[in-house]
Amino acid sequence: MLNRINHIDSMELFIVKLPLVEPFETSFAIETHKEALLLKISSEGIDGWGECVASPDPYYSSETNETALHIIRAFLLPLIIKMKNFSLQEVLEEFERIRGHNMAKATVENALLDLLARKQNLPLYELIGGEKKRIMSGISIGIKKNPDELLESIKKALSKQYHRIKIKIRKGREIEPLTRVRENFPDIKLMVDANADYSISDIEILKQLDDYDLMMIEQPLEYDDLYFHSLVQKELQTPICLDESIENLNDVKTAINLGSCRIINIKQGRVGGILNAKVIQDYCRNNGIKVWSGGMLETGIGRAFNIHLQTLPGFLLPGDTSETSRYFQEDIVEPPVTLQTDGFIDIPEGDGIGVRVIPDRLTRFTAFSEKIEYK
């Protein structure tokens, strides 16, 4: 499927910090900046870029930017150094020796995929077997100080024609906001994301969410749970969507067999990369489980990968795919992600992921960089 890479000239790691347009609050944290770990792999005058979806803290995942930086620098890149005239599949087979660390592995895989696509003068979606199409948009709205702020955020999102609205909730901050939202917007496509803030003992609260005509309830229970989600799903009419609990295909198979969910959020970085995500969406499609592409407040690099991922046939629901200006006044890439008048997003034109890193912006936002050259 993929051509080979003769050799790697250099690799460069960056940590960038981009201010968010406004603070983003979830059940576990408030973010004011996006701190992203980036990787550039260069070969014969062509650069491939990857972005790690980890955060600086271990609240969403046990992986952080620092742990990913260590694994990439000390284990993953040294495996590639020794390889000549290699394929991506051969790299991924070497990576299997390292347990876990999906986000670190995905960063390297992404950069190599971008490099391979650019070498072949292909857009990434064509390289991975996707179909050119316009991508549905979806917005994720953090926890607000009061329902009036939430209503105003939804109103702005609807004026942009977003296809789906997601609001973050936490225990004790769900019924009042949802009641106000449905009073004011009875017909919008609406979902909630709990980021694992509830437990099985909160099932009576979760059952109340059936009253709000939700598309889904995302990850209500513990981040590593599959079994208790199955008990809750049996009691709910609303589909449960699993996010944090799904790290690989085996988790997907277990969740489906237990009846833990009816929808899965595929974050390609969380499951180890685009190619693993492709296998998972195909399995879900063959087993009646809907999927969509989740987001992690990515810069334009990670956002472009998510857009290309959604060209695969299993992605039939709007994902966390929003405009660049929703989160950043200035990104490190061009062109920015923009919504068309009907809310759809066009795939970036050009080879690879279709966006280009702007050097002066990269310099301004870089907090750390390290270049590794090989002879």
- Please give the positions annotated as active site: 168, 267
Question: For residues 63 and 249, what is the distance between their CA atoms, to the nearest angstrom?
Answer: 19
Beta strand residue intervals within 107-194, DSSP E: 139-141, 165-168, 190-193
Q: What Cα–Cα distance (Å) separates residue 135 from each residue in 73, 162, 185, 312?
A: 34, 11, 24, 11
Between CA 362 and CA 356 the distance in angstroms is: 11
Name, in order, each residue with C-beta under 8 angstroms of 96's C-beta and a sequence gap of 6 or more: none
As a whole number of angstroms, the distance between CA 295 and CA 297 comes to: 6
Contact (CB, 8 A) for 36 and 66: no
- Rounded Cα distance, 178 and 190, in Å: 10
| Integer angstrom CA distances of residue 369 from 95, 106, 363 | 24, 19, 10
- Return d(Cα 238, Cα 215) in angstroms, integer: 7
Q: Pick the closest to residue 303 from 289, 322, 278, 279 (CA basis).
A: 322
d(CA 314, CA 280): 9
Are 108 and 77 in contact by the 8 Å Cβ rule? The answer is: yes
**C-alpha to C-alpha distance for 291 and 278, rounded to whole angstroms:** 11
Burial class (CB in 10 A: 0-12, 13-18, 19+), 23: exposed
Written as one letter, the residue type at 194 is: A
